[in-house]
Chains A and B, each alone.
Chain A
């Protein structure tokens, strides 16, 4: 029986000759320095690739049910979520492995950058890698568009508005992308084609070249400060190292396999516990109650766009991406040799820290969106009970007026409510009664004037309530100018 099976396999091997082609590739030597714990830093690329494969598998599954038409896409998503057996799981895995892929691509890139692995002779591997990053981001954005809900609809609006600002060809590009000057029947079909055929197609080719280069040029050895890269001698030294190297399969591959397994467990676990994302509200521009947010990876961009002054918008939209992408592409050209160890490359380390800091801060701002009023806070966020107990009838009326005049949509109490204006929890320690009255009536500092919205009694009651808003034991604000004219 066994020999029959072997015979059967040999029949194929005799024709395919995999032992002469794939097997040597699987066995290509890896420097033995990776045997230490540092080897675990080399697993992210292969894991990102595995998630890409998972994306393709789940994507094909979704493609069998999803209807890429503006009128039916939303319903088909609900159909997958609620009616198709395990359809929700398919959507969840597609979503979570997409998130994982974005994270792992960035982590992989950071590791390569910090360890100087992009230097000679692996510059082209990096450049193709940057292209893969851009394609991954493209997949993330087009995937968000295919989740044809309110977030997707308004996110697409922002995206095409940015493209529309490109000089000369902007409007034509928008028309090409959306199948018309505005979002219409063809828009979703175009993005479906992008997400399912065009970008994955390019991604496949780029990934093929990337892998070819990885195998041809070999896995970089962990950097040692005393061994800077010198193109004249590097290859010779590296090949010397390979003589004592370990074969990729199965020795080194085992580590990749363990991390890939863990990652798949996390992806499936997240899918099982947290489920799929959305669809949220339908993409209906007449729904006033939606507060759309882009997917998390675009939140920092969302924050930058929301916070940039109009005079800088075009520069930020058109010039900054060109600079950032160009810088990424040109990194190996300008620092393709010399020191690889992060211990001797403070600028590189600081650049990564600066990027992460900016990303996290902007991300946090994107989550809070303090620039946007919370339109339902006035009727949906109760006044904290501690601000109600012991208050006089007039102060209570003031608190009701604070809610009814929708002050809460921009001002939080105890952190709950809009973030657009200052939190009012201890406003009485900052503003005197006169200042409060003036602020309410005249507005100022980005706040509209409410003088015409409220009568004298309402202002009186409201300010009486605001005057009570200070922590126990704190003095009320005092005027810096004595206005008492009696003396």
Chain B
């Protein structure tokens, strides 16, 4: 028995059979453990429950707290798109934070900060802003200087700066083809249900950026397609906001 074994070792350069077998006995279970670790059922860190106020992942935060109104991919929601590089160029982080913290008065946008009764912490709001910028922010070198400014200017009495009379002409030139004469067409704007649920700031934003997801042109396209043949100026936009604001007050007066 021992003799035969010795011969086998002599004629074969590879390790003795017992040693080879032993290697398998060691390797096989190790392989199995390795395979078991890569099974789909193995819970990963992603499966670990996280308290809602410790979630920092942008995709999760956006899905849970924003997608309801702003759309699954930041477009085609009832609220203006966030997946809009022009919007993200004209608005500053501080302004986005202000909207997220306190909501937008006069619109359905609610306050999202826990300090204001919302669901999110300061850190989560920062994560959302960073995520929105990273995912949807302008990739080109367009700067906010070349675009109309974001913030709506107001008089001391809160009325928007701008001339509603001049706005009427701009409206007829650039907006009436879709929104109808005096804003009373299919896509009417001169309507309490609309003007009563949207703020002047939101109006200004939509005039500047349009609703690319719904086919509404931005200030540039709207101006160029009109009789004027050039983009709407910041003053034109002021005038349009003033006009819409005057329609809003007129409607309110009528209803009194």
Residues of A within 8 A of B (CB): 78, 81-82, 85-86, 88-89, 92, 149, 271-276, 279-282, 287, 289, 376-383, 385, 388-389, 391-394, 396-405, 408, 455-458, 460-461, 464-465
Contact = CB atoms under 8 A, between A and B. Distances in A.
B197 A397 contact: yes
Interface stretch (B47-55, B93-101, B140-148): B47-55
A282 B186 contact: no
Contacts of A377: 68
A393 B76 contact: no
Contacts of A396: 78-79
Interface stretch (B4-12, B58-66, B130-138, B166-174): B58-66
Contact of B76 (A149, A289, A381, A388): A388
Contacts of A271: 41
Interface string B28-57: 000001001001111101011101100000
B43 A460 contact: no
Given A272-B41, A380-B64, A389-B214, A460 B196 contact: yes
A393 B187 CA distance: 6
A474 B66 CA distance: 32
24 contacts: A81-B47, A85-B33, A92-B41, A149-B49, A275-B40, A279-B49, A282-B49, A287-B52, A377-B68, A379-B69, A379-B119, A380-B63, A380-B68, A388-B77, A388-B214, A391-B78, A392-B187, A397-B78, A400-B69, A400-B107, A404-B69, A404-B108, A458-B196, A465-B78
A380 B40 CA distance: 27
A88 B42 CA distance: 6
Interface residues of B, number: 46
Q: Is the interface of B mostly helix, strand, loop or mixed?
A: loop
A282 B198 CA distance: 41
B43 A456 contact: no
A82 B45 contact: yes
A398 B69 contact: no
A382 to B, nearest CB: 5
Contacts of B193: 394, 397-398, 457, 460-461, 464
A89 B33 CA distance: 11
B24 interface: no
A401 B68 CA distance: 11
A385 B213 CA distance: 10
Contacts of B45: 82
Contact of B68 (A85, A287, A403): A403
A378 B71 CA distance: 12
A376 B69 CA distance: 12
A454 to B, nearest CB: 10
Nearest to B44: A82
B165 interface: no
Contacts of A398: 78, 193
A287 B51 contact: yes
B49 A382 contact: no
Contacts of B78: 383, 388, 391, 396-400, 402-403, 465
B149 interface: no
Given A89-B39, A397-B198, A401-B108, 9 more contacts: A81-B47, A82-B45, A271-B41, A382-B72, A383-B78, A394-B197, A397-B193, A458-B197, A461-B197
A292 to B, nearest CB: 13
Contacts of A401: 108, 197
A130 B197 CA distance: 63
A456 B193 CA distance: 8
Interface string B102-146: 000001111000000001000000000000000000000000000
B189 interface: yes
Nearest to B79: A400
A457 B66 contact: no
Contacts of A279: 49
A274 B41 contact: yes
Given A397-B197, A397-B198, A457-B193, A382 B41 contact: no
B188 interface: yes
Contacts of B181: none
Given A82-B48, A92-B41, A456 B196 contact: yes
B181 to A, nearest CB: 15
Contacts of B33: 85-86
A272 B39 contact: yes
Contacts of B179: 393
Interface string B186-214: 11110111111110000000000000001
A381 B179 CA distance: 30
B67 interface: yes
Given A82-B45, A271-B41, A381-B68, A289 B110 contact: no
A394 B179 CA distance: 12
Nearest to A81: B43
List of 3 A-B pairs having minimum Cβ-Cβ separation, nearest first = A457-B196, A275-B41, A399-B78
A383 B68 contact: yes
Contacts of B65: 379-380
